[in-house]
Structure 1
Amino acid sequence: MSYKQITINDIAKRIGVSKTTVSRYLNGKFEYMSQDTKKRIEEAIAETGYRPNRLANSLKTDKSDLIGVVMSNIMANQTPQLLGSICSTCTKHGKKIVVVNSEKNPEKEKQLAHNLIDQRVDGLLVISGYNSEFYQELDRDELPVVLADRVPKNVDMDSVAINHKESTYRVVSHLLDEGYQRIAVFSRPHKNPYNTPAIRVAAAEKACRDRFGNDARCVKVVVSNDADNTNSPDFDETMAQLVRFYEESFETPTAIFVAEASIMSSIACSYYRAGIELSHRFTIAGYSNDIIKRFFVPTICTIEQPLERMGELAVERLLKRIEIDKAGEEEPVRESILLSCLINMEQKLD
């Protein structure tokens, strides 16, 4: 069975009106249109299943109502909350989104961004940390760009981020105040210094340097991407590392700081399997979600991110920038920093 795209011309012929009249109906211009004509057009559209050609319309109006979302890792733990917020906010404002995933490949990301431009997106929302100079050039060429979450230094673009550095520094300092003499930071391997977990690791190291004069007591533990699989050797290695720090904590009070929420599930599973107990000599803290953190008894200190608010604010900022640019107006670049929520900072362990 062949498929024929229904056009405005088909609707016009079907009910005996001009293409202009159908076009005016689709654009909500009913000033000189009778109720009978409106009803006939509405019925014809329903009967034929006609859908407007958005690309053709965008060529006429120079407006596609499409927002391009560039992500470096769509499998990241934070994606459901963040992307869900972006989608709902765009829908609220009558916009549609096209999401691309570069899989942490900067060159692939550039190509995907060009593909979005070819689709005539009205603006780009970038959650990456890569290619800041590339996006800077796009922004200067009048394609509005807003960076979210991962924002490199010295960029002259609108951005919305979370205070990862300050939150991590504060929690690690709190652990040191509680008497823990060593911080073991668990994170995945990262090459990009502007990657969110990399920023957190650097903040943990700084907290130790400021306390002890160096970061020798901040031990970095790289967790494999396959450590979430409880049947894999990588999971066994993560558990072995956790047990080692627990055993050594009887000599050197140790706190585990988890730099990524996606790792906390492996840590929680290892904690239970190994029969580890939290105390004034050994504890676990860091980034987690609301469900995983409940597995620890007593409750651990965690950092919760305002991901939904970040997605909402980033979209609203991009739409505002699109509006400003189309009007030919100027407005200074805005950098918004959202505060994380620190949970159970007052927790005392026996």
Structure 2
Amino acid sequence: MPTIYDVARAAGVSAATVSRVLNGQRTVDPDMVARVLTAVRELGYRPNAVARNLRRSRTTLWAVIISDIGNPFFTSMVRGIEDVAQQAGYSVVLCNSDEDPDKEETYVAAALSEQMAGVIISSSGSVKAARSLLDSPVPVVAVDRELPRGEVDTVVVDNEAGARTATEHLLAAGYRRIACITGPEGVSTADHRLAGYTAALPAEPLVIRTDFREQGGYDAMAALLSAAERPDAVFVANNLMTVGALRCLADRGVDVPGEMGLVGFDEIPWADLVRPSLTTVAQPTYELGRMAARLLVDRIATPAAKPATVVLPAELRPRQSSTRP
């Protein structure tokens, strides 16, 4: 079995340098980091996790707590996290809170009791879970959604600007009674996207809050269609609810975009394959994850630094569902 000294010889560096690289320290020259990681892969070296954890009083694992593993939005984001984690010598444990605050609290408690090296969380809105993280010494980064009532390193998309652009796009296309289907109150993505929609709308807002799930989008769309004055367009604040809204419109025989314009937040892999193709507000999902992981590496290295907030832009991708004949 290869040792740290074998890796050092193969990379042409000292054993101390190998140790710094594997511990995720950023003071090592990038060329040396590349040589060490190459030697680790070629030799099949595996650090002694037990000994290293005893030295650190912490594991080399990150807990990544996401709000819905069934949502394809998170696939690329988690890939970005994992790529950076692997380069820094960490492994990722994926936890699915399933938009359930109780499950989120359970996973947070487990991450803290297992002395995880860090936590990246897309919060379902649990104030209790947020407080537990803020009161602990474990480094934390919030991704996609802000952590309730807490100041931590955060990576989000400019949700308000993206929603405002989507609503303005529908207005420019000639739609006038535009509704919004958004998520639960207190979840930052739902609240900011609602704020962007409201800011762009010259008329009275028409809003339905639901649960960020496909069935929630279906039920919300059905309620809008049953209204005395139904809308002529709808902005839907996430991808799964957009799928549900589209399914409802198809079931009711409502023509899109003739009778109902539609814009969804989050890109969907098949958005340009369906007919009509689907207008979306796309997020840089991989970059969200990659940036969150980089912030966590920095936070582990410098625990006392001031928390940083990174806001990434969203991009409107106009297609047929919002283009009135």
Identify the TM-score tier after normalising by the shorter chain.
Answer: 0.7 to 0.9
Structure 1 position 93, deviation (Å):
2.5
> Which stretch shifts more, 70-79 or 310-319?
70-79
Alpha-carbon contact 1:185-1:257 (below 8 Å) kept: yes
Q: 2:256 maps to what in 1?
A: 278
**% identity of equivalent residues:** 22
Residue among 168, 174, 177 paired with 1:173: 168
Q: Distance in 2 between matches of 1:348 and 1:162?
A: 25
Distance 1:264 1:225, change over 3 A: closer
Are 1:301 and 2:276 counterparts?
Answer: no
How high is the TM-score relative to the length of structure 1?
0.69
Q: Where does 1:41-52 land on structure 2 (aligned, <5 Å)?
A: none
Q: 2:208 maps to what in 1?
A: 220
Structure 1 position 155, deviation (Å):
3.2
Partner amino acid, structure 1, of 2:198: E
Q: 2:295 maps to what in 1?
A: 317
Q: 1:342 maps to what in 2?
A: 316
- Which segments of 5 or more consecutive residues in structure 2 lack a partner in the other structure? 16-43
Partner amino acid, structure 2, of 1:349: R
Alpha-carbon contact 1:67-1:97 (below 8 Å) kept: yes
Aligned residues: 290
Q: 1:256 maps to what in 2?
A: 234
- Which segments of 5 or more consecutive residues in structure 1 lack a partner in the other structure? 1-10, 12-21, 34-48, 229-233
Structure 1 position 82, deviation (Å):
1.6
Q: Distance in 2 between matches of 1:101 and 1:186?
A: 24
Q: 1:156 maps to what in 2?
A: 151
Alpha-carbon contact 2:214-2:244 (below 8 Å) kept: no
Q: Deviations over 1:135-172 (max 9, x none)?
A: 2222xx3x221111111476321110111111102211
Q: Deviations over 1:85-121 (max 9, x none)?
A: 2222212332101222333443543342232233232
Q: Distance in 2 between matches of 1:289 and 1:342?
A: 13
Structure 1 position 240, deviation (Å):
4.6
Are 1:55 and 2:50 counterparts?
Answer: yes
Greater gyration radius: 1
Residue among 95, 108, 111 paired with 1:116: 111
Structure 1 position 317, deviation (Å):
0.9
Are 1:291 and 2:270 counterparts?
Answer: yes
Q: Residue 180 of structure 2 aligns to a residue in which SS? A: strand
Q: 1:37 maps to what in 2?
A: none
Residue among 179, 187, 191 paired with 1:184: 179
Partner amino acid, structure 1, of 2:293: V
Distance 1:279 1:59, change over 3 A: closer
Distance 1:258 1:302, change over 3 A: same
Alpha-carbon contact 1:301-1:344 (below 8 Å) kept: yes
Structure 1 position 130, deviation (Å):
2.9
Residue among 230, 245, 250 paired with 1:267: 245
Distance 1:313 1:296, change over 3 A: same
Structure 1 position 306, deviation (Å):
0.9
